[in-house]
Structure 1
Amino acid sequence: MALSLAVSPCPNDTFVFHALVHGKVKGAPEIDLTFADVDVTNTAAEKGEFDLVKVSYAALPWLLDDYQLLPCGGALGRGCGPLVLTNGRTDLAGATVAVPGDRTTAYLLFRLWSAGNPPANIEIVPFHEIMPGVADGTYDAGLVIHEARFTYPRYNLTAIQDLGEWWEQDTGLPIPLGAILAKRGSVDPAQATEWIRRSVSMAWADPSASEEFVVANAQEMEPEVVKQHIDLYVNEFTLDLGDDGFAAADALLGRAAAAGITPAVKGLTL
């Protein structure tokens, strides 16, 4: 029986999961793949809709009763955090801010960062509409992720805060963005970990093998942006969270719980 997998169409996910999705990982089952933005997968996972699913670390407090965090396949790193963008203004006092989802790691980091000076209004906006909306004045500011790090200057926008830089300076830890979860009772987490690690290793060993699949789903990104995206988000933490990766997740969720933003969580490790 095929296992259902939901990830984003972003280059890091298609690069990482190419071998697994295309039956190239020995011993792995057939995969039924769904592409969806993380705000969609966060909600779908809460309903238990997928066996393996990419979600925001910020959504874990609502998901860990039914899912197990896997120590691989996700998106953590340094120098890869969300950006707060404006069209010239330098502060958020009284601002309307567009964010990509209310349970995204980006928004959680934004709430922790702006706690002393919150904006006037928050609007949930599809990711691809945020930068154009800030540029044309629909929103005073926008919270952006992923390839927007490389493309926001073309909208003549200004980054007033790099939330990853803020997080790293404050904690010394990498920023935990996206996590891979395995549904309890549906897939063995140790087996799934092995399959995903093999898929990552195969992607690194032969990057050209996944190129057509990555580009076909890259939402019109230029080849250089695709490469930058993969280089930034597919790193040592993709293969193994390790002590620093789990510490980062604990720190993020611990701070969120202490601030009353999310429920407390325990037992992140296998």
Structure 2
Amino acid sequence: GRGCGPLVLTREPDVGGTSLLERGRELGGLTGRTVAVPSEKSTAYLLFRLWAADVVPGGVGEVVVMPFHEIMPAVRDGKVDAGLVIHEARFTYQQYGLHSLADMGEHWEQTTGLPIPLGAIIAKRSLGADTLRLLAASARTSVRAAWDDPEASRPYVLEHAQEMDPAVADRHIGLYVNEFTADLGEDGYAAVRGLLTRAAAEGLVPPLGRDALGFVPQA
């Protein structure tokens, strides 16, 4: 999607002692600092590493992995200097008195012009082309049914959401379930290929095979 990337949060808007407004993109305030992340094997972490390589001179300090729901309290309480957050935290971090230092998705979109590939449903090729088309069509039908009748899935969403406020759940769904959910299209495939290629260049993932991601338009 677009406008839906992970955020780096801090307690203060100027963690390095210098106004971020004055420093613009030179976010040296994170140099050598401790940053909490929800996983080191996630798209969010890849986007964070690519962002830090571009704008944090000297690199960040220690990276601490902790459960997603513990990150904002840890930043608020001063246990870590900054936190990488995802999903509904985009809409709730102000409740913890925190500030958005940087938007990983904004950086990705500005440097590549591509949407952000945040997640995927994976199926083996060995299932066969007919089965794969059926699975894709079923997922697409499900998404479109949910768009047509949002109330039908609301109880399930609220039961499993970290943030239980229905208004936040609606904003979350509206942002993350979008046109790319129903059909990746050429831009979607380019985004996945671009992310994995750049991550491989940073040594974060293995190089992408030539035929690993072939664009297959809808029938």
| The two structures share one fold, judged by TM-score above 0.5 | yes
Among 140, 156, 159, the residue aligned to 1:216: 159
Distance 1:197 1:167 in 2: 26
Counterpart in the other structure of 1:124:
65
Distance 1:219 1:111, change over 3 A: closer
1:86 aligns with 2:25: no
Among 103, 113, 127, the residue aligned to 1:172: 113
User: Higher strand fraction: Structure 1 or Structure 2?
Assistant: 1
How big is the shift at 1:220? 4.4
Counterpart in the other structure of 1:259:
202
How big is the shift at 1:257? 1.0
User: What is the RMSD computed on CA atoms of the aligned residues?
Assistant: 1.4
How big is the shift at 1:184? 4.2
Question: How far does the alpha carbon of each residue in 1:23-53 deviate from its partner, in whole angstroms, 9 at most, with x for none?
Answer: xxxxxxxxxxxxxxxxxxxxxxxxxxxxxxx
Counterpart in the other structure of 1:160:
101
1:239 aligns with 2:179: no
Question: How far does the alpha carbon of each residue in 1:198-246 deviate from its partner, in whole angstroms, 9 at most, with x for none?
Answer: 1111111111211222222223420100000000001000000001100
Letter in 2 for 1:113: W
Counterpart in the other structure of 1:105:
43
Distance 1:122 1:257 in 2: 20
Residues 163 and 169, structure 2, Cα contact 8 Å, conserved in 1:
no
Distance 1:102 1:219 in 2: 20
1:142 is paired with a residue whose SS is: strand
Distance 1:122 1:168 in 2: 24
How big is the shift at 1:117? 3.3
Q: Which runs of 5+ in 2 are unaligned?
A: 17-28
Distance 1:139 1:178 in 2: 27
Q: Which runs of 5+ in 1 are unaligned?
A: 1-76
Work out the number of aligned pairs and report it: 194
Among 170, 190, 193, the residue aligned to 2:136: 193
Among 199, 202, 205, the residue aligned to 2:148: 205
Structure having the higher Rg: 2
1:139 is paired with a residue whose SS is: coil
Question: How far does the alpha carbon of each residue in 1:77-122 deviate from its partner, in whole angstroms, 9 at most, with x for none?
Answer: 1110000011111421221100010111111111111124311100
Letter in 2 for 1:163: M
The structure with higher relative contact order (CA 8 Å, sep 6+) is 1
2:9 is paired with a residue whose SS is: strand
Letter in 1 for 2:40: D
Distance 1:160 1:218 in 2: 25
Question: How far does the alpha carbon of each residue in 1:115-169 deviate from its partner, in whole angstroms, 9 at most, with x for none?
Answer: 2431110011100000000000111110000000000001111111001111111
TM-score calculated relative to the size of structure 1: 0.69
How big is the shift at 1:185? 3.4
